[in-house]
């Protein structure tokens, strides 16, 4: 599972505010840590101010990872552990992710103009979270089924 979510997949983060109003944004690179018991996803703050304003340690977070070619999809329910400005290693991750996603989406007919605006490496925030549950979201039989529960490592799930 770690290889899937660290790969060139579409990443959508969902959070909520104090009044339980939802907000979403796109991630630009994910890495699994500590054997999958922690993960980092990078988010451009300027592009997604509502979601980044609703990210706080201890708060819930949902992330959906989708392969654009096959629609294979997984959702991670998580708890936010820490937030930090991106460092040099994070910027390298974002650049690699951007190149891989652009190549994949270009092969699917998406133009650079259509994707360049949300594949921004500017003003990145690192969101560290503890995955709690993993769900299959691929359309069809089994969509919505829980794969991993109770804080088991995300790396342990099988795509």
Query: Where residue 55 sits, what CATH number does that domain have?
Result: 2.30.110.10
For residue 90, being part of any structural domain is answered with yes
Instruction: Give pLDDT, residue 34.
Output: 83
Question: Which tokens in the block code for residue 156?
Answer: 């342990």
- Note down the domain range covering 30: 2-152
Q: What is the pLDDT of residues 86-144, one digit of tens each?
A: 999 999 999 999 999 999 999 999 999 999 888 999 999 999 999 999 999 999 888 88
Q: Is residue 133 part of a domain?
A: yes
Q: With b meaning 16 or more CB within 10 Å and e meaning fewer, what string describes 130-144?
A: bbbbbbbbbeeeeee
pTM of the model: 0.90
The answer to whether residue 143 is domain-embedded is yes
* Gap between the Cα atoms of 18 and 132, Å rounded: 21
Domain annotation covers residue 158: no
The answer to whether the CB of 131 falls within 8 A of the CB of 154 is yes
52-72 pLDDT, tens digit each: 999 999 999 999 999 999 999
Report the pLDDT value the prediction gives residue 141, as an integer from 0 to 100: 87
Residue 70 lies in a domain: yes
What is the per-residue pLDDT for 151? Answer: 58
Residue 27, number of CB atoms within 10 A of its CB: 25
Confidence band, pLDDT 50/70/90 cuts, at residue 153: low
Number of domains in the chain: 1
pLDDT of residue 40: 98
Q: Show Cβ contacts of residue 85 under 8 Å, excluding neighbours closer than 6 positions.
A: 124, 125, 126
With 70 as the cut, is the pLDDT of residue 152 above it? no
Is residue 89 in some structural domain?
yes
């Amino acid at each position: 599972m770690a290889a899937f979510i660290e790969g060139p997949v579409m990443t959508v983060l969902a959070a909520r505010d104090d009044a339980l109003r939802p907000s979403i944004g796109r991630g630009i690179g994910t890495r699994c840590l500590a054997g999958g018991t922690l993960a980092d996803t990078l988010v451009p703050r300027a592009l997604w101010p509502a979601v980044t304003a609703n990210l706080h340690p201890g708060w819930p977070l949902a992330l959906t990872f989708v392969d654009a070619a096959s629609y294979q999809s997984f959702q991670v329910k998580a708890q936010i552990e820490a937030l930090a400005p991106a460092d040099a290693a994070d910027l390298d991750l974002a650049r690699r992710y951007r190149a891989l996603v652009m190549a994949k989406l270009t092969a699917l007919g998406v133009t650079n103009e259509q994707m360049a605006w949300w594949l921004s490496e500017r003003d990145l925030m690192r969101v560290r979270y503890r995955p709690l549950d993993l769900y299959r979201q691929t359309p069809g039989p089994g969509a919505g089924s829980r794969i991993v529960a109770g804080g088991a490592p995300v790396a342990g799930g099988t795509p």
